[in-house]
Amino acid sequence: MSESPISRFFPPDLADVPSDVRERIAAVEEKSGFVPNVFLALARRPDEFRAFFAYHDALMERPGSLSKAEREMIVVATSGLNQCHYCVVAHGAILRIRAKDPLVADQIAINYRRADIAPRQRAMLDFALKVAARSYEIGDADYEELKSHGFSADDAWDIAAIAALFAMSNRLANALESRLDIANKAAIAATSHASSSEKPWRFRSS
């Protein structure tokens, strides 16, 4: 597909990839306008590709009281903790769209405790980050705290499972040294072009 490396591992020739994997890649390209590197990287291993995205979809698109934006908040906070640059940028972009808020992704990636989010969302991220960093200390008090914010048992499962899924995903992307998606590069470049004008921050008068 391209000569530029997507990670420490070269992507497979898409012609050699099983058709169901190729179709999923085509679908994401149709929807997003580009193929995220994680799809190309995992295509090297079709069974892992299928399992990963099956798990991802089961958790991220599951009906429930957590909104899709809130699910992405967990992903971004976890990715910040694990210092996964690829994940923060890719899921930060999704969070900005789903939360309809341009600010919240950076806030959550750097320090979710200072993000402009609801107390319920703060409690959700406290639980998620404890799962991410010290899951062996999770106990009654943590579940009680979630309950006091109106979360159900299945919400608690969702939060824990998303934090756990990205404990995996962050480590895999870091270990494979995934590179930033070209499209994200283009998006940031487009933004930056505007902001590198002579008086880059004069927005009030515009």
- DSSP code, position 197: S
* Residue span binding a copy of itself (CB under 8 A) among the ranges 16-24, 63-71, 144-152, 167-175: 167-175
Of 19-27, 66-74, 144-152, 155-163, the segment contacting a copy of itself by CB under 8 A is: 155-163
Q: Is 114 helix (H, G, I), strand (E, B) or coil?
A: helix
Each residue 65-104 as x (binds a copy of itself by CB under 8 A) or -, in order, gives ---------------x-xxxx--xx---x--xx--xxxx-
Q: Which stretch binds a copy of itself (CB under 8 A): 16-24, 39-47, 63-71, 144-152?
A: 39-47
The first and second tokens of residue 161, run together, are 């499972």
Min CB(22)–a copy of itself separation in Å: 18
Residue 151 binds a copy of itself (CB under 8 A): no
Work out whether 145 is an interface residue with a copy of itself (CB under 8 A): no
171 contributes a contact to a copy of itself by CB under 8 A: yes
What's the rounded Cα separation, in Å, for the pair 189 and 182?
10
Report residue 23 as tokens: 């179709």
How far from 200 is each of 1, 46, 194, 195, 206, CA to CA, in Å? 36, 45, 7, 5, 12
User: How many whole angstroms separate alpha carbon 69 and alpha carbon 27?
Assistant: 22
CA within 13 Å, CB half, 3: 0
Under the binding rule (CB under 8 A), the answer on residue 13 touching a copy of itself is: no
Q: Which of residues 40-69 bind a copy of itself (CB under 8 A)?
A: 44-45, 47-48, 50-52, 54-55, 57-59, 62
